[in-house]
Amino acid sequence: MPQQLIIFPFGGNGREALVSAIEANKISHQWDILGFVDDNQDTWGKDMAGYKVLGDRSVLEKYPEAKVLAVPGNAQTYLKRQSIIEGLNLKKERFATIISPNAVVSPDAVIGCNTFVMPYVFVACGVSLGNHCIILSHTVIHHDSVVDDYNCIGSSVTISGDVKVEKNCYIGSGTNIKEKIIVGERSLLGLGSNVVSNITPQVTVVGNPARVLKS
């Protein structure tokens, strides 16, 4: 039986999640998509493909059986993602996980709740993706790597084997991370960075090889 689904918020990540949910339904009817919620009143009543913004987060109380995919955040706001998601006050079992039917995920990979894996992502054997993560299109995560909670991984990122990305990081599109690297929590890796040594927590790095821009 299809599961009701609400997506939060009505931003780029949320609208891309809708596309993946629609595509998944073409294979098997997994989701009864109710629409979006967004705290920005300017979005109320807007729609994508006929799915409307129903109102602010209080709408979630009207649909207690609905699963919620909460995918806020970008390079400017990634450090607020945890507090925004926790602010929804939802139990873990209320969250959805959406994996695009065009992604390739190893059968032994572990993917947490409220994680969205976009099209053409490859998740290899032994990989662990935490809760509340977003993995953008065409990213490759190689064997035995660990991506902790609340991480945003941009598009066309290559994470080599045995890498650990600690929580609350943002990895910019086109970044390459060498094998066995540790990326410290709350760090930002700028677009196209080539990471060949461990990254300390709470820094911004850019370049080839990646260097600390600010801490």
Residues classed as catalytic: 143
User: In this structure, what are the phi and psi dihedrals at residue 93, rounded to the nearest 5 degrees?
Assistant: -70, -10
Residue 2: both structure tokens together: 């299809």
Report helix, strand or coil for 115: coil
Residue with tokens 């949320």: 14
Distance CA 15, CA 37 (A): 11
Distance CA 12, CA 17 (A): 9
Cβ atoms 57, 8 nearer than 8 A: yes
Cβ atoms 97, 123 nearer than 8 A: no
Q: Which residues contact 211 (CB under 8 A, 6 or more apart)?
A: 205
Cis peptide before 209 (omega within 30 of 0): yes
Distance CA 19, CA 44 (A): 19
